[in-house]
Amino acid sequence: MTMNAISRSQIYVLDQDEALDFYVNKLGMEVNTDQDLGFMRWLTVNLPGDPEREILLEKPGPPALDPATAEQVRELLTKGALGGYLFMTTDDARKTHEDLVAKGVEITDEPTERPYGIDFGIRDPFGNRIRIGQMFPRS
């Protein structure tokens, strides 16, 4: 048996409609799946042109978490103590940064040149941290 791809990642959000607005309207992602499964809403987004790599925007609760644990997760997320991490790349970090600033996205780290490229940090409305980088060619 050999794994050949990472197809889905997950982050917790407190409000899936607000998350959808942020990830689609501010970050430019596309809705991949928005399905009511009865026991939960399966809501995934992906970068344009990359539908095989989805991000599940999951509201803490059943079936993964019992009500008490879901409440703890919501409290930690609200405090900014539980946010997940996403890493994305762009062809032009400084231009992407300017575009996101104009859209009112919270910037946590200004574009900085590092040994691997130019990157910066943003945060979604729920405390999840996102790094966006313009990677230098590998030598």
Q: What is the pLDDT of residue 81?
A: 83
Q: What is the pLDDT of residue 82?
A: 81
- Is the confidence at residue 3, as pLDDT, over 80? yes
Q: What is the pLDDT of residue 137?
A: 93
64: left (phi > 0), else alpha (psi -120 to 50), else beta? alpha
Query: 55-87 as b/e, with b when 16 or more CB fall inside 10 Å?
Result: bbbbbbbeeebeeeebeebbeebeeeebbbebe
Q: Which of 53, 61, 71, 18 is nearest to 37 (CA)?
A: 61
Q: Quick one: average pLDDT of 109-137?
A: 96
Contact 47, 53 (CB under 8 A): yes
SS3 50: coil
Q: Quick one: average pLDDT of 38-58?
A: 96
- Is the confidence at residue 139, as pLDDT, over 80? no
For 63-120, how does the pLDDT look when each residue is reduced to its tens digit (9 = 90+)?
899 999 999 999 998 887 887 889 999 999 999 999 999 999 999 999 999 999 999 9
Amino acid at 43: L
Contact 109, 123 (CB under 8 A): no
Q: Which of 128, 123, 18, 38 is nearest to 76 (CA)?
A: 128
61: CB partners within 8 A, 6+ apart: 40, 67, 70
Mean pLDDT value across the chain: 95
**For residue 123, what are the β-bridge partners?**
106, 129
Q: What is the pLDDT of residue 90?
A: 97
- Is the confidence at residue 130, as pLDDT, over 90? yes
Is the backbone peptide bond immediately before 60 cis, with ω within 30 degrees of 0? no
